[in-house]
Amino acid sequence: MFDEEHSAEVVAASFAGTPDPRLREILTALVRHTHAFVKDVGLTGEEWAAGVRFLTATGHTCDDVRQEFILLSDVLGVSMLVETIGNRAVGGSTESTVEGPFHQVASPVRALGDSIDLVGDGEPCLVTGQVHDGDGGPVPGAAVDVWQADAEGFYDVQRPGEVPPRNLRGLFTADAEGRFWFRTVVPRFYPIPTDGPVGELLRAAGRHPYRAAHIHVQVSAPGVRTLTTHLFVDGSPYLDSDAVFGVKESLVREFVTVDDPRRAERHGMPNPFRHVDFPIVVRRDGGG
């Protein structure tokens, strides 16, 4: 029978007949941990009701483009934990991080060397890189999809009518040596959406909502595991307190200032400009 001492065992037993063994394992552990949590904090009826109201509001904030539950998972560090467990970096492969909610529109196809900045505000920046596999061989023709916030910390979808659609997004095809390069502006740090229940949670906890400045990069190619990661701007505020725990030290790169008119001209950049190089190592399918 159900009592305080045996609550978890009794409820877990009710799931013992779940035919799918993995679902059974998950439900059993969910019951065990939830009951331990309620006992640990001595959850009151009022607190339970506040939790239900919070989750209900979280659901009501979701629509076709906004996913407040994922944002909740993000600020609780659960998204990054799942991402990190599912993509443990092996053999020097590039570490992954969260995809985030702003990859909601497809990036326009761009040629190597193109600019993804359709506005012209911000510090001009050249991004270069090369995609390798774990054995050190190049990945020719890898698809390199990039998207980023602008110099004021906004994605194009947050400024409809103000900036051209697809600003600061591009889908590049690496050359025969796996190399890619494009022109952009240095992104700024920005706050995650705070006008919903997750924002309320952060305010109640005295936590800031900011993400360190970054460029999103997703690399795919036949026969390799798709890599979803970020390139973080060294020196950005919030590298040590990113609101969604997305920063990994190996992904932080110096955006070097280049003052060299001839190099600038060669790359179609104004002088001076910032330059960052991001070598990327992906894993072959089935390789570790």
Residues that bind ligand BEZ (CB under 6 A): 71, 74, 98, 100-102, 192, 211, 244
Residue 129 binds: one of Fe ion, ligand BEZ, none (C-beta under 5 to 8 A by kind): none
The residue number whose beta carbon is nearest to ligand BEZ equals 100
Task: Based on the shown chain and the rule CB under 5 A, indicate whether residue 100 belongs to the binding site for Fe ion.
Answer: yes
Burial class of 230 by CB neighbour count within 10 A (0 to 12, 13 to 18, 19+): buried
Upper half-sphere CA count for residue 57 (Cβ side, 13 Å):
14
Task: Based on the shown chain and the rule CB under 5 A, indicate whether residue 124 belongs to the binding site for Fe ion.
Answer: no
Shortest approach of ligand BEZ to residue 155 CB, angstroms?
7
Count other C-beta atoms under 10 Å from residue 94's C-beta: 24
The residue number whose beta carbon is nearest to Fe ion equals 100
Residue 247 binds: one of Fe ion, ligand BEZ, none (C-beta under 5 to 8 A by kind): none
Name the residue nearer to ligand BEZ (CB basis): 178 or 199. Answer: 199
Burial class of 44 by CB neighbour count within 10 A (0 to 12, 13 to 18, 19+): exposed
* Distant-in-sequence, close-in-space partners of 235: CB < 8 Å, separation ≥ 6: 254
Structure tokens at 267: 């790359």
Residue 244 binds: one of ligand BEZ, Fe ion, none (C-beta under 5 to 8 A by kind): ligand BEZ
Shortest approach of Fe ion to residue 14 CB, angstroms?
42
Shortest approach of ligand BEZ to residue 177 CB, angstroms?
29
Integer Cα distance of 165 and 82 in angstroms: 32
Structure tokens at 193: 């959406």
Can you give the C-alpha Rg of the chain in angstroms? 22
Integer Cα distance of 244 and 253 in angstroms: 19
Task: Based on the shown chain and the rule CB under 5 A, indicate whether residue 129 belongs to the binding site for Fe ion.
Answer: no
Shortest approach of Fe ion to residue 256 CB, angstroms?
22
Residue 74 binds: one of Fe ion, ligand BEZ, none (C-beta under 5 to 8 A by kind): ligand BEZ
Name the residue nearer to Fe ion (CB basis): 217 or 281. Answer: 217
CB 182 within 8 A of CB 221: no
Shortest approach of ligand BEZ to residue 153 CB, angstroms?
11
Residues that bind Fe ion (CB under 5 A): 100
